Amino acid sequence: MADPKKKTMFQKIAESQFLKSIFRTGIPHTRRQRMMAVLNNVFLHLHPVRLPKHAVKVKYTWCMGGLSFFVFLVLTVTGILLMFYYRPTVEYAYGDIIDLAEQVPLGIMREIHRWGAHLMIITVWLHMFRVFMTGSYKPPREFNWVIGVLLLVLTMLLSFTGYLLPWDQLAIWAITVGSNMARATPFLGHEGPGAALLAIGDINLVHAASDVRFALLGGRFVGEATLLRFYVLHCIGFPFIIMIFMVVHFWRIRKDGGISGPT
Amino acid sequence: MTEDAINQNPNENPESQNKPEVSPPASPVGEKTPPIEAKEKVSRRSFLTSATLAWGAFAVATAGILTGAGRFFFPNVLFEPPQTFKAGYPDEYTIGEVSERWKEKFGVWIVREKGMIYALSTVCTHLGCTPNWLGNEKKFKCPCHGSGFRSTGINFEGPAPRPLERYRIVLADDGQIFVDKTKKYQHEKGQWSDSESFIAV
């Protein structure tokens, strides 16, 4: 063996000021140093420092939570790339989608985004199914299940708002049908129960141009304003909210005693 | 800076600043200074008063901003076709015809039968798509889920649970047909016999 006091090239680089300024812990040798390496890294510190053996058993977890997050990252990257070409206006939207498929290099980008959206719904459902079947929603993880349900709803809202953006017949009528449910919201929808009670004399406070469906569509029917609203919600609004809840969700896995395992 | 500070000789500054710092240790050990502590201590009453005022102001400001943000989603001007329009003279419609003249712009079919003209909504009563008028088969057919309606608006096939709605229709002063989409008449509520649900011709 070489002289232990003589530093190898690798050690010299690892202990240089440049790398030590980035990775403050240096090369971890002890358990404590390994722990510090994880805790001192903003990306790693969301993960547990040490894992129980069962946590990496794919047969138990199916890795569906991790895969959901991975698909979300793929959707974020491809979605940002699509935004460089797509214009959310009645005049251009449909043409830009065709353009993305036929004229822009790597025309499969939009399809990856679309398939990814379908896949994320599937992985989130399977993740929920696994968590349910293994009883991992039970205390002390019951609050994280609630966060998970919010994430499911946000995933579907992202899917729903993305559905309109191609601006073809399927998109327009699917959103017309889907948003009609909002008409029947109690008190908030103009055809919902209780809406008729909210009136001053003969003037209805909740009508077609003042109810929750209008706030969603930006009009009495699916039109230009709807396309823009859904675009903003799809690209900024919901991703922002879902990321906040994802951070909480991952954090709570650790705080609730780590990933669940067979007992 | 106060005037006093400016007027002071800069050379004397270090000394003058040091003095107060040096003097406390010089004071006799164990000397109590309760008056100063009592002066700086925040009483429960004043804390609660200022906390209530501060949080109250914060809550009011937040509520105001949220209300404004909510109102922001309801614009004062809509770039949509108006809810009321004049649809020409009754003579322009032939008996037995379903006119698609105003379908695209206003979402209304004008139907003239023997003795009456009425305005049908183009919104399918199933889930809100726009049916097509199939002239050969004399029926409205919705492309979304296959609901079918007669030219009167009565549903007869597919999942639609009730007939198409009719809009308020009257003759304006100049003799033109005036359609008002803010008021609707539903067959299942027995409203199709109301006076302004059709024009007698």
Number of A–B residue contacts, CB under 8 Å: 30
Cβ separation B75–A218 shorter than 8 A:
yes
Interval A62-116: pLDDT, tens: 999 999 999 999 999 999 999 999 999 999 999 999 999 999 999 999 999 999 9
Q: Can you give the pLDDT at residue A15?
A: 81
The end-to-end CA distance of chain B, in Å, is 91
Cβ separation B74–A214 shorter than 8 A:
yes
The 3-state secondary structure of chain A, one letter per residue? CCCCCCCCHHHHHHCCHHHHHHCCCCCCCCHHHHHHHHHCCCCHHHCCCCCCHHHHCHHHHCCHHHHHHHHHHHHHHHHHHHHCCCCCCCCCHHHHHHHHHHCCCCCCHHHHHHHHHHHHHHHHHHHHHHHHHCCCCCCCCHHHHHHHHHHHHHHHHHHHHHHHCCCCHHHHHHHHHHHHHHHHCCCCCCCCCCHHHCEECCEECCCCCCCHHHHHHCCCCCCHHHHHHHHHHHHHHHHHHHHHHHHHHHHHHHHCCCCCCCC
Contacts of A171 (CB under 8 A, 6+ apart): A163, A164, A165
Residues B104 and B172 occupy one common structural domain: yes
% of chain A surpassing 90 pLDDT: 64
Chain A interface disruption, residue of B67, B76, B79, B80, most A CBs within 10 A: B80
Residues B43 and B100 occupy one common structural domain: no
Residue B48, burial from CB neighbour count under 10 angstroms (0-12, 13-18, 19+) = exposed
Total length of chain A:
263
Q: Is B18's pLDDT higher than 80? A: no
Q: Is B69's pLDDT higher than 70? A: yes
CA distance, residue B142 to nearest chain A CA (Å): 11
Chain A interface disruption, residue of B127, B130, B184, most A CBs within 10 A: B127
| Residue at B2 is within a domain | no
Query: Quick one: average pLDDT of B133-145?
Result: 94
- Give residue B6's pLDDT band: very low, low, confident or very high (50, 70, 90): very low
Q: Is ipTM beyond 0.95?
A: no
- Give residue A202's pLDDT band: very low, low, confident or very high (50, 70, 90): confident
Residues B72 and B128 occupy one common structural domain: no
**Which of B70, B73, B128 lies nearest to residue A176, judging by beta carbons?**
B128
For B58-144, list the strands marked E by DSSP. 84-86, 97-99, 108-113, 116-121, 132-134, 139-141
CA distance, residue A175 to nearest chain B CA (Å): 10
| Residue at B170 is within a domain | yes
CA distance, residue A6 to nearest chain B CA (Å): 53
Cβ separation B74–A173 shorter than 8 A:
no
Residue A200 vs residue A79, higher pLDDT: A79
Residues B50 and B104 occupy one common structural domain: no
| Residue at B5 is within a domain | no
Residue A65 vs residue A203, higher pLDDT: A65
Q: Can you give the pLDDT at residue A152?
A: 97
Residues B50 and B124 occupy one common structural domain: no
Residue A217 vs residue B10, higher pLDDT: A217
| Residue at B51 is within a domain | yes
| Residue at B16 is within a domain | no
- Chain B contacts to A (CB-CB under 8 A): 70, 73-75, 78-80, 107, 127-129, 143-144
Cβ separation B127–A176 shorter than 8 A:
yes
Residues B129 and B112 occupy one common structural domain: yes
CA distance, residue A231 to nearest chain B CA (Å): 15
Residues B127 and B170 occupy one common structural domain: yes
Q: Which region among A37-51, A139-153, B41-55, B150-164 has the lowest average model confidence (pLDDT)?
A: A37-51
Q: Can you give the pLDDT at residue A4?
A: 66
CATH of the structural domain A53-164+238-263, one choice from 3.30.70.2740, 3.20.20.80, 3.40.640.10, 1.20.810.10 = 1.20.810.10
Q: Is B133's pLDDT higher than 90? A: yes
**Which of A177, A209, A214 lies nearest to residue B129, judging by beta carbons?**
A177
Report the amino acid identity of residue B56.
G
Domain that holds residue B66: 35-79
**Which of B73, B107, B144 lies nearest to residue A173, judging by beta carbons?**
B144
Q: Which region among A199-213, B53-67, B97-111 has the lowest average model confidence (pLDDT)?
A: A199-213
Rounded-to-integer distance, Cα A15 and Cα A244, Å: 36
Interval B153-196: pLDDT, tens: 999 999 999 999 999 999 999 999 999 999 999 999 999 999 99
Q: Is B40's pLDDT higher than 80? A: no
- Chain A contacts to B (CB-CB under 8 A): 173, 176-177, 180, 209-210, 214-215, 218-221, 223-225
Rounded-to-integer distance, Cα B8 and Cα B24, Å: 23
Prediction pTM value: 0.81
Q: Which CATH number do you get for residue B191? A: 2.102.10.10
Residues B187 and B101 occupy one common structural domain: yes
Q: Is B3's pLDDT higher than 60? A: no
Residues B106 and B177 occupy one common structural domain: yes
Q: Can you give the pLDDT at residue A51?
A: 83
Cβ separation B127–A180 shorter than 8 A:
yes
Q: How many domains does chain B have?
A: 2
Residues B150 and B189 occupy one common structural domain: yes
Name every chain B residue with its beta carbon within 8 A of the beta carbon of A225.
Answer: 79
CB A100 within 8 Å of CB A87: no
CA distance, residue B80 to nearest chain A CA (Å): 8
Residues B107 and B46 occupy one common structural domain: no
| Residue at B26 is within a domain | no
% of chain B surpassing 70 pLDDT: 80
Chain A interface disruption, residue of B78, B84, B122, B167, most A CBs within 10 A: B78
Q: Which region among B14-23, B65-74, B127-136 has the lowest average model confidence (pLDDT)?
A: B14-23
Mean pLDDT, all residues of chain B:
85
CB B151 within 8 Å of CB B98: yes
Residues B57 and B112 occupy one common structural domain: no
Minimal-distance CA residue of chain B relative to A216: B73
Query: Quick one: average pLDDT of B83-92?
Result: 94
Query: Quick one: average pLDDT of B111-135?
Result: 94
Residue A47 vs residue B147, higher pLDDT: B147
Mean pLDDT, all residues of chain A:
91
B23, B52, B79 - which closes a domain: B79
Query: Quick one: average pLDDT of B23-34?
Result: 53
CA distance, residue B188 to nearest chain A CA (Å): 16
Chain A interface disruption, residue of B74, B108, B167, B184, most A CBs within 10 A: B74
